[in-house]
Structure 1
Amino acid sequence: MGRRRADPKAETLRESRTLNPHPESVADERFTDSEFFDARDLVQVKYEMVRRVEVDGVSVTTAAAAFGFSRQSYYQAAAAVAESGPAGLVPAKPGPKGPRKLTDEVVDHLEELLAADPTLRSSALAELIQQRFGTRVHPRSIERALARRHTESKERPKSSP
């Protein structure tokens, strides 16, 4: 038995997290009768759903049903388009959005410790963070956080009086 060839567009959509998990739910005639419109393209489907309401005057309930979404999903998509244009429909990258352990408060404390004793090594700083905040942090993470803070402070424009 031969292997099926992978669809390059589907792979690209999957990699960008924009592959519609339910393309079979899209019943809009443009997606069923056209080669241009692709029900697998989540961004295109959501954009057309919003456009259908805002430009063509179709009701939210009708449009949401035709595109395989709930009314709530329509309103979320419409808000994303209003705020950021079609790019707002591209899903955000998964995962943490910021530091969990090395918060601004912790890094501020690290800088205070280093200001008081510049000879402290990252391993000693990690122990002090464990004692003060109850958080285990790898010494290399401390080094990166301090370097990042140093780089950010250099990039910030100085405010004029």
Structure 2
Amino acid sequence: MARGSSRERGRLGEDKAAALRALHALNPHPEAVADAAFVGGGDFFDPRDVVQVKYEMLRRVRAEGQAVTQAAAAFGFSRPAFYQARQSFKAEGLPGLLRQRPGPRRAHKLTEVVVAFLQQTLAQEPGLGARELARRLQAGLEVSVHPRTIERGMAQRQKRGHRS
């Protein structure tokens, strides 16, 4: 079967990378994969596919008896990452090998408008708790924010010297 031009293969490679990225399966460090099956440049093993890389790492240890340290290094992972992948695979199967999407690192719902609303509400009624503030946010701005998010956000603002 003809393989097509290098231009077509390049486009397909870009399409696959985009698909892997969308599924959170794009290996952030494909260059770290040193296993011969992946380095050989064949069409089947793709070091960019983190699920395939992790599965093959687990398979090498279980089916072929390769040492954990050796397998982890060959596939670009640490020993703890191997054990984490093994546990995730036992619990969830192949989907467990997908990279976990990181959650928000900050209170992204606490926009300037929301914080201003909270400050104004607290200025009028200083004794309100986070649960009541969350309820009023929902009623007033139609924004759903967990009470704990409000507590953390307001505490962080006070810590940085903002008045609330």
Q: Which residue in 2 is equivalent to 1:106?
A: none
Q: Secondary structure at the match of 2:69?
A: helix
Aligned-partner residue type, residue 37 of structure 2: R
For normalisation by structure 2, the TM-score amounts to 0.59
Q: Secondary structure at the match of 2:38?
A: helix
* CA distance in 1: counterparts of 2:28 and 2:103, whole angstroms: 20
Aligned-partner residue type, residue 46 of structure 1: K
Residues 1:77 and 2:73 aligned together: no
Residues 71-128 of structure 1: CA distance to partner in whole angstroms, max 9, x if unpaired? 01100000011111111011233326xxxx9xxxxxxxxxxxxxxxxxxxxxxxxx69
For normalisation by structure 1, the TM-score amounts to 0.60
Over the aligned positions, Cα root-mean-square deviation in angstroms equals 3.3
Q: Sequence identity, in percent?
A: 47
Q: Runs of 5+ in structure 1 lacking a partner?
A: 102-126, 146-161
* CA distance in 2: counterparts of 1:83 and 1:15, whole angstroms: 23
Could you tell me which of 26, 31, 35 is aligned with 1:24? 31
Q: Which residue in 2 is equivalent to 1:56?
A: 64
Residues 30-70 of structure 1: CA distance to partner in whole angstroms, max 9, x if unpaired? 11223101000011101110111011110001100100110
* CA distance in 2: counterparts of 1:94 and 1:21, whole angstroms: 14
Q: Which residue in 2 is equivalent to 1:7?
A: 14
* CA distance in 2: counterparts of 1:10 and 1:17, whole angstroms: 10
Q: Runs of 5+ in structure 2 lacking a partner?
A: 1-9, 110-120, 147-164
Cα pair distance change 1:15/1:130, threshold 3 Å: farther
Aligned-partner residue type, residue 26 of structure 1: V
Residues 1:141 and 2:137 aligned together: no
